[in-house]
Structure 1
Amino acid sequence: MTTTAFLQTRQSARIINGVHTEVLVTGFRDKILVLVTQYGKIGSLLHVTMQSQTMTTSDTLSSSSNNVNFLLGSHSPLYQLYATNFSTIISSENPNEGRSLLIGLALKVNKKNNNNNNDNIDDEFEFDKELFEQVELMVKECKVW
């Protein structure tokens, strides 16, 4: 009798900018769960619907933008950027991947020191390139697609 695993899980942990960071990726039949935490919590929860990609005549991938929905927590543009990046990583490594993503993000982000009363949320948080790149590498290491 042959048994097929229903899910596949990978995880990674490292210190990024002096903060312990963990990534857990689990592949289910219908979804891929990606958890990234520096707090030991799920944090903000996002759902990303993957759009199918097609090959163009020049052998490059063409895709429409993925649909990102915030389910719980902060509606941070930074978190939307992380979610979009994760879906781009997955679709570039496996263009036939059709499962949607459920993403939990709990990252320590630095607030900008804005003295002007600008209520634009896009300007509220600093972009930490080192954190972004390291998290991207960790997600790639935890490939289940």
Structure 2
Amino acid sequence: MAAESIIQSKQTTETVHGILTEVVCTVFSDYIFVVVTQYGKMGTLISLVPHCVANDVSKPTFSTKVLMGKDEPLIHVYAKHLVTFVSEESGNKPVLLALALKNANVETIKSIKKLIQSCRLW
């Protein structure tokens, strides 16, 4: 009988607007780690944490924090757009996102979000 791994991971690769893009999603017991790269390395590391208010049935708010790399306003926007649904669908787990993009425009971000959805493990 084979031992089952505690950590689950899934990856995919696709060409997005002419650039090879890799996505790896890994689920740990207390958070989810998502890597999105067009460089073959991790790039900027962003933490996305949900904040739930007691007795409030609405969706949680999310805060982002750059842990490593360039802390630019658009990085926070990209992170929230790309992985907020991951946290919500996983029962509001925090998400750690590694992001290294050559081309970051609206269409690219939409395509990458679909790639992340195809790696769904939560």
The bucket for the TM-score relative to the shorter chain is 0.7 to 0.9
After TM superposition, list the pairs within 5 Å mapping 1:76-91 onto structure 2: 76-91=72-87
> Identity of aligned pairs, percent?
31
Query: Which whole-Å CA distance do the structure 2 matches of 1:91 and 1:27 have between them?
Result: 11
Query: Which whole-Å CA distance do the structure 1 matches of 2:7 and 2:52 have between them?
Result: 22
For the pair 1:100 / 2:63, whether they are aligned, the reply is: no
After TM superposition, list the pairs within 5 Å mapping 1:47-62 onto structure 2: 47-52=47-52, 62=58
Pick closer, same or farther for the CA change 1:128–1:86 going to 2, 3 Å: closer
Q: Note the C-alpha offset of 1:78.
A: 2.3
For the pair 1:11 / 2:11, whether they are aligned, the reply is: yes
The normalised TM-score by structure 2 is 0.85
Q: Note the C-alpha offset of 1:55.
A: 7.9
Q: Which amino acid aligns with 2:93?
A: R
Q: Moved runs in structure 1, 4+ residues, more than 6 A?
A: none
Q: Which amino acid aligns with 1:129?
A: V
Question: 2:43 touches 2:99 (CA, 8 Å); kept in 1?
Answer: yes
Q: Note the C-alpha offset of 1:89.
A: 1.3
Unaligned stretches of 5+ in structure 1? 57-61, 110-126
Q: Note the C-alpha offset of 1:129.
A: 1.6
The normalised TM-score by structure 1 is 0.72
How much is the aligned-residue C-alpha RMSD, in angstroms?
2.4
Pick closer, same or farther for the CA change 1:9–1:131 going to 2, 3 Å: same
Q: Which has the larger radius of gyration?
A: 1
> How many residues align structurally?
121
Q: Note the C-alpha offset of 1:99.
A: 2.2
